[in-house]
Amino acid sequence: MRPWAAAILYAVLGAITFVVCFPLLWAISTSLKPKDEIFRWPPTLWPENITFEAYRELLFGGSVASAPGAGVAPSAYFLTWFGNSIIVSVGSTIISITVATLAAYSLTRFRFWGQRAVPYIAILGYMVPSVIFVFPMFLTMVSLDLTDTLFSLILGYVCITLPFCLWLMWAFFRGVPIEIEEAALVDGASRLQVFRQIVLPVALPGIIAASIFSLIVSWNDYLFGRVFMNTMENLPLTVGVMHFFDGTHVDWALMMASSVLMTLPMAILFGFMQRHLVAGFGAGAVKG
Amino acid sequence: MKFRLSDRQVGVLFMLPLILAVAVFLVWPIAEAVRLSFVRYNPLRPDDQPFVGLDNYLFVLEDPLFWESFWQAIVWTGWSTVLQAVIGVGLAMLLHQPLKGMNAFRGLLLFPYIVPTVVIALNWRWLFNSEIGIVNHLLMSAGVIDDRIAWLSTPTMAMTSAILLNVWKYTPFVVIVVLARLQTIPTELYDAAKVDGAGAFRRFRDITLPQLAEVLAVVIVFRTIWTFNKFEEIYLLTRGGPGTSTYNLALYAFDQSIANLRMGVGAAAGVIMLLLLLAGSMLYIRVSGFGREDKAA
């Protein structure tokens, strides 16, 4: 490529990247502004006086609302919500990945009746929107007396994570050559030994990619948490932070600081695992 | 002595959790949704569920709000999908260029996909705040507009903001899929076309587009189905407002179930969504040749 063409390309890509990243840069900038600067017009692009007040309130707050008798401020729950979100995302991911990995292995190594239906079932589940799952699942949780528990949320998320985990693992196992396994079987290893010692290590990249997608989907969900949960202490992060809107006055620094903190775990995962992610996207298994 | 499972037993054993999970997490909720759509169900009186036949469906189909939501969903889906496809292909072409440091650009441009919808909705409300939002400020100082735009409180602008949000978040999906396909187009095709004297535009029209056609069709079907049924993107940004001007069918079903306590009506709307989705899936299976061993993924 000629140097001037490369220069133009860099400029165009730089401009697009800036526009795409702007909402998050603006969130960071806002989260660092003192209250009076937030409401200034025209707005300052970068805070004149940087303050970490909003982060302090979220992470070490436990602060009580200023109005007397108003009880505990929603921001005091932030870390609890954060923990809840980690528990439910990891919980549902473990279930979905385990089920999907075992089934995908079986599907690609054995022949049995009804096998051809599985991919169709996976794609159907993959396309059904959560708004259809959520109320039947909620009513089931009510009759099992499980509402408002983190466990119910874990089960709810399996509805939306399992189909694409299955699809991704299935696509992955079809690409893993069978010869090494056959050699080990001929040498007298049992099927379970082969699975543990040969198949699982080879499948690790696929498992990682599927896990990341599953974590992202359950971490980002709002609907299930909104319908299943009531008590402030039990909310996932996504539902919790919407409570910051409850008052008449919106604390934008607090909102933006929680936005930043909420995106951070996924951003870190994404940064480390970008290679695996693209592999997963390539296999066509993404929920959106 | 060691207990050993036969091959056959392992195969069945590994499938059992999936069969159970599909029954519990897929078949059961859908069957339950279909059942609910035929009963009157007020969640405050769970023991009283009289069978009402097609009443819920008739209620939905005679409800002007349902049809308003339906047409708004088509506007929302149409614009979102077209913009995502066009911008997505353009970006993928840019990102496909052999350039140093391209991986960094790729990473940053794919980033919106993993940002939680709640976060984007909050950011959008702040960016597009009519009083002190940065978007109005930038547009005014650039001289594009004279007065502040009330982004989220007028019907057209609220829909526009919601579509922009959706495009921002999901264009990366198109980029990744198209980029993966671009990388498999043999470069010989382009070299041959260059020798024949084809310009950049003709190479795009005669080589790139035909090669992308299949994957693009699949992506567009997928994005159409998902966008049509989106709930959180709209609900968290506008709550369907102002008024009901950004309702789609998902918001309609949610509203009936939660706000109006008509679970049966909500379920009927859900089943209608499901039928539309099945029609869309048929299209997908047609377009992609899904299920044929060699290209099922």
In this predicted model, what pLDDT tens digit does every residue of A20-41 receive, in sequence order? 999 999 999 999 988 888 888 7
Q: Is residue A120 part of a domain?
A: yes
Q: Are residues A120 and A166 in the same domain?
A: yes
Q: Are A242 and B7 an interchain contact pair (Cβ–Cβ within 8 Å)?
A: no
Q: Residue B204's pLDDT band (boundaries 50, 70, 90)?
A: confident
b/e map B87-126, b = 16+ CB within 10 Å: bbbebbbbbbeebeeeeebbeebbbbbbbbbbbbbbbbbb
Q: Are residues A105 and A70 in the same domain?
A: no
Residue B129 CB contacts under 8 Å (≥ 6 apart), including other chains: B136, B151
Q: Is residue A27 part of a domain?
A: yes
Q: Is residue A222 part of a domain?
A: yes
Q: Does B74 touch chain A (CB under 8 A)?
A: no
CA distances from A224 to A80, A86, A137, A156, A227 (A): 18, 15, 9, 7, 5
CATH code for the domain in which residue A122 is found: 1.10.3720.10
- Confidence at residue A188, expressed as pLDDT on a 0 to 100 scale: 82
- Confidence at residue B283, expressed as pLDDT on a 0 to 100 scale: 79
Which residue, B216, B225, B186, B226, is CA-closest to B90? B216
Six-digit token string for B59: 């209620």
Q: Are residues A138 and A210 in the same domain?
A: yes
Residue pair A162/A100 in contact by the 8 Å Cβ criterion: yes
Q: Examine the fold and report which residue of A74, A96, A117 is the final residue of a domain before the chain moves on.
A: A74
Provide the β-strand partners of residue B39: B51
Nearest CB to B117: which of A222, A256, A284? Answer: A222
Which residue, A248, A259, A286, is CA-closest to B172? A286
More confident residue, B48 or B266: B266
Q: Are residues A123 and A215 in the same domain?
A: yes
Mean pLDDT of chain B: 87
Residue B284 has pLDDT above 80, yes or no: no
Q: Is residue A287 part of a domain?
A: no
- Confidence at residue A272, expressed as pLDDT on a 0 to 100 scale: 72
Q: Is residue A288 part of a domain?
A: no
List Cβ<8 Å contacts ≥24 apart for B26-32: B26/A121, B26/A124, B26/A125, B26/A128, B26/A159, B26/A162, B26/A163, B28/A136, B28/A140, B29/A132, B29/A133, B29/A136, B29/A137, B29/A140, B29/A159, B30/A128, B30/A132, B30/A136, B30/B274, B32/A136, B32/A139, B32/A140
Residue B2 has pLDDT above 50, yes or no: no
Tell me how far apart the alpha carbons of residues A257 and B172 are, in angstroms, rounded to a whole number: 25
Tell me how far apart the alpha carbons of residues A110 and A168 are, in angstroms, rounded to a whole number: 18
- Confidence at residue A285, expressed as pLDDT on a 0 to 100 scale: 42
Q: Does B265 touch chain A (CB under 8 A)?
A: no
Q: Are B99 and A9 an interchain contact pair (Cβ–Cβ within 8 Å)?
A: yes
Q: Are residues A117 and A252 in the same domain?
A: yes
Tell me how far apart the alpha carbons of residues B26 and B21 are, in angstroms, rounded to a whole number: 8
Q: Are B11 and A106 an interchain contact pair (Cβ–Cβ within 8 Å)?
A: yes
Q: Are B270 and A119 an interchain contact pair (Cβ–Cβ within 8 Å)?
A: no
Give me the domain span that covers residue A70.
3-74
Q: Are residues A144 and A65 in the same domain?
A: no
Q: Is residue A115 part of a domain?
A: yes
Nearest CB to B11: which of A38, A109, A159? Answer: A109
- CB < 8 Å to B43, chain A: 139, 142
Q: Does B132 touch chain A (CB under 8 A)?
A: yes
Q: Are residues A46 and A185 in the same domain?
A: no
CA distances from B163 to A58, A215, B74, B75, B158 (A): 31, 26, 12, 9, 9
Tell me how far apart the alpha carbons of residues A215 and A263 are, in angstroms, rounded to a whole number: 12
Give me the sign of the Cα torsion angle B9, B12, B15, B19.
Answer: negative
- Confidence at residue B130, expressed as pLDDT on a 0 to 100 scale: 83
Q: How far is B87 from chain A (nearest CA, A)?
A: 11
Q: Does B90 touch chain A (CB under 8 A)?
A: no
Q: Are residues A192 and A274 in the same domain?
A: yes
Residue pair B21/A162 in contact by the 8 Å Cβ criterion: yes
Which residue, B175, B179, B178, B177, is CA-closest to B167? B175
Q: What angle do CA A169, A172, A176 make, to 5 degrees?
A: 130
| Crossing angle of the two packed helices B7-22 and A117-127, in degrees rounded to 10 | 30
Q: Are A1 and B98 an interchain contact pair (Cβ–Cβ within 8 Å)?
A: yes
Q: Examine the fold and report which residue of A74, A101, A129 is the final residue of a domain before the chain moves on.
A: A74
Instruction: Report which DSSP code applies to A64.
Output: B
CA terminus-to-terminus distance, chain A: 35
Main-chain dihedrals φ then ψ at residue B39, nearest 5 degrees: -125, 160
Q: Are residues A264 and A162 in the same domain?
A: yes
Q: How far is A220 from chain B (nearest CA, A)?
A: 5
Residue pair B249/B69 in contact by the 8 Å Cβ criterion: yes
Residue A69 has pLDDT above 60, yes or no: no
Q: Are residues A191 and A138 in the same domain?
A: yes
Q: Is residue A153 part of a domain?
A: yes
Residue B296 has pLDDT above 50, yes or no: no
CA distances from A177 to A174, A282, B96 (A): 8, 19, 30
Provide the β-strand partners of residue A203: none
Q: Examine the fold and report which residue of A56, A74, A92 is the final residue of a domain before the chain moves on.
A: A74
**What are the pLDDT digits (tens) for A260-287?**
999 999 888 887 777 665 555 544 444 4
Q: Are residues A85 and A205 in the same domain?
A: yes
DSSP string across B114-154: GS-HHHHHHHHHHHT-TTT-HHHHHHHHTTS-SS---TTTS
- Confidence at residue B293, expressed as pLDDT on a 0 to 100 scale: 47
Our CA dihedral for B73, B78, B79, B84, rounded to 10 degrees, sits at: 120
Q: What angle do CA A144, A243, A128 make, to 5 degrees?
A: 50
Q: How far is B18 from chain A (nearest CA, A)?
A: 6
Mean pLDDT, residues B149-161 taken together: 91
Provide the β-strand partners of residue A72: A64
- Confidence at residue B157, expressed as pLDDT on a 0 to 100 scale: 92
Give me the sign of the Cα torsion angle B111, B115, B119, B121.
Answer: positive
Q: Are residues A92 and A188 in the same domain?
A: yes
Provide the β-strand partners of residue A64: A72
Structural domain total, chain A = 2
Q: Are A26 and B32 an interchain contact pair (Cβ–Cβ within 8 Å)?
A: no
CA distances from B25 to A134, A139, B20 (A): 11, 13, 8
Six-digit token string for B31: 């069957």
**What are the pLDDT digits (tens) for A85-126?**
999 999 999 999 999 999 999 988 888 787 888 878 888 888
Tell me how far apart the alpha carbons of residues B166 and A128 are, in angstroms, rounded to a whole number: 18
Q: Is residue A148 part of a domain?
A: yes
Residue B22 has pLDDT above 50, yes or no: yes
Nearest CB to B108: which of A21, A116, A171? Answer: A21
